[in-house]
Amino acid sequence: MASGVKIEEHQFRVTLDHSAAHFRLMGGIQWYGPSAIENMPQSNLLDGRLWYSTEEFHDALGSMWRYCQEHPDTHGLDHALIYAFDGRAGTIKFHAYLWKPETGDTMQPLDYGRAVDPLDRYNSYPGCILDALLAQNKAVKASTVVKRALPLAVKRFGAGASDETHTVLLHNALKTMMQTEPLIFSRDDPSNYSPTGRFTMVEHLGIYDKDATWLSK
């Protein structure tokens, strides 16, 4: 019996590079059952499978939805996470979605950030950084990301702290995310205008192709 494919975060970057190197679209679906541990929805992985074209993706998801409709009370499925790695243009585009049997013909785009507490997605410094990163269209300087995240932080939990405090905490959040998240990609660009001789350029790999063009035929 073949075993399912577990797609893990640390493989995202490698899979993206692979799909871009071969100009291919690929992706995976992870099927999850009701959580085995409280508050950990991803604790019960049932099966994982890769797909290599939009048709194959629709086949796989469609047959599972059909199964869930035929057995509405006993299907034993909780949700599915869907990843798409689109390298057809030679550049890397990443997508993540959440699918549930109750709303089978729709899925919901996910913002991907591991350092972001999902229960505290909006009222935390990593959450502000993630929103600033996802609003970009290309790699920008790390200090620019912080500058753009500052108004978000001030608006969401600004009272009682100075802008300097927010800036320091945002910088810390960004540094942590750059070191822990495979989807946040940073690169040092040499520059004569910086005292250190370089700028750190940061981007989130989910910013490309926000309109999900991989889904259309």
Partner 1 sequence: MALQVIKLDFAAYEPKLTPEAQAAFDKWRALYDDMAHHCRQASCWTWAGELTYRVNGVKRMCRTVPQPVSEEHMRVILSSVEQFYSLPVAGEENPRNPVVALMA
Report the distance separating Cα 104 and Cα 98, nearest Å. Answer: 11
Eight-class DSSP state of 159:
T
Q: Does 34 bind partner 1 (CB under 8 A)?
A: no
69 token code pair: 């409709």
Least CB distance to partner 1 at residue 197 (A): 41
* Cβ distance to partner 1 smaller for residue 66 or 198: 66
Q: Does 3 bind partner 1 (CB under 8 A)?
A: yes
For residue 168, give every residue at least 6 positions away whose Cβ sits within 8 Å of its Cβ, in sequence order, or none.
none
Q: Which stretch binds partner 1 (CB under 8 A): 17-25, 105-113, 138-146, 176-184?
A: 105-113
- CA separation, residue 193 to residues 11, 39, 139, 198 (Å): 36, 48, 18, 8
Phi and psi of 58, rounded to 5°? -65, -40
Site for partner 1 in 138-167 (CB under 8 A): none
Site string for partner 1, 52-91 (x = CB under 8 A): --xxx-xxxxxxxx-x--xx--xxx---------------
Q: Which of 103, 124, 216 is nearest to 174 (CA)?
A: 124
Site string for partner 1, 172-201 (x = CB under 8 A): ------------------------------
Q: Does 37 bind partner 1 (CB under 8 A)?
A: no
Q: Does 108 bind partner 1 (CB under 8 A)?
A: yes
Least CB distance to partner 1 at residue 88 (A): 17
- Contact predicate 143/132, CB 8 Å: no
Q: Which of 176, 175, 149 is nearest to 163 (CA)?
A: 149
* Cβ distance to partner 1 smaller for residue 8 or 59: 59
* Residue the block writes with tokens 């950084």: 129
The footprint of partner 1 (CB under 8 A) covers 1-4, 31, 33, 46-47, 49, 54-56, 58-65, 67, 70-71, 74-76, 97, 103, 105-109, 122, 212, 215, 217
